[in-house]
Amino acid sequence: MDRKIFGMACFVLAIVIIVTSGASFAYYTSSANNDSTITGAVNNFDVDMILDTVYQANQLIPLDNSLVKAAISKSNNKCIDNRGYESCSLFTLTLKNNGDPQVLNGYITTSSSTYTTDNLKFQIYDVNFNPVTDVVSLSQKANNKTYFIKNSNMVSTTLNSVDVVYYLVIWLTETGNVQNADYAKSFSGQVGFESISGEKLTASFST
């Protein structure tokens, strides 16, 4: 009888040990996975963004979309046409990563706009004047955020130890019709980048 009770006690103790060990292991695995995700996403976010003005237009005249690259890639008088008119505004964006690798999504937030149509456009180019995004309309509504888009997909920027430099160009697209409604208008906003974990970088500009 004593042997039977002893055997039963050992059996119960073995089950308790197995269940407890299993539960502890499952908890440890879950905790380790969560820690890995958090560490990779938010720790050591140390990114600087520098916005420099190449040319800031005061009165944009319409510019055909097909001529934007030529307007910004010439060696001098960027955004000035051969008659001396202002065809675009051009800025450089430099991203410097001093911490862990990051993946950022770019966007432009409207602060204010007196434009009456959606013909005010922007596009992002790399340092070799290759388009990084599609031609995108800037929102006329304050606080609206317009993301960098390519082929209907959000454009992500991967930052390692090498600086990433972009051109931001803004222009009034040529429609082939009278565009007096958008003559001598103004726009101000913020260009920004946000990480997947919520950190944000912003810089203000106007045209």
* SS3 letters across 109-144: EEEEECCCCCCEEEEEECCCCCECCCCEECCCCCCC
pTM, whole model, 2 decimals? 0.78
pLDDT digits (tens, 9 = 90+) for 92-102: 999 999 999 99
Evaluate if residue 11 carries a pLDDT over 50: no
pLDDT digits (tens, 9 = 90+) for 72-81: 999 999 999 9
- Could you tell me if 115 and 185 are in contact, meaning their C-beta atoms sit under 8 angstroms apart? yes
For residues 104 and 145, what is the distance between their CA atoms, to the nearest angstrom?
15
Residue 102: closest CA among 166, 34, 198 = 198
**What pLDDT was estimated at residue 196?**
86
pLDDT digits (tens, 9 = 90+) for 151-201: 999 999 999 999 999 999 999 999 999 999 999 999 999 999 999 889 999
**What pLDDT was estimated at residue 43?**
52
Helix H or strand E segment including 29: helix 2-42
pLDDT digits (tens, 9 = 90+) for 15-48: 444 334 443 322 222 222 222 222 233 458 899 9
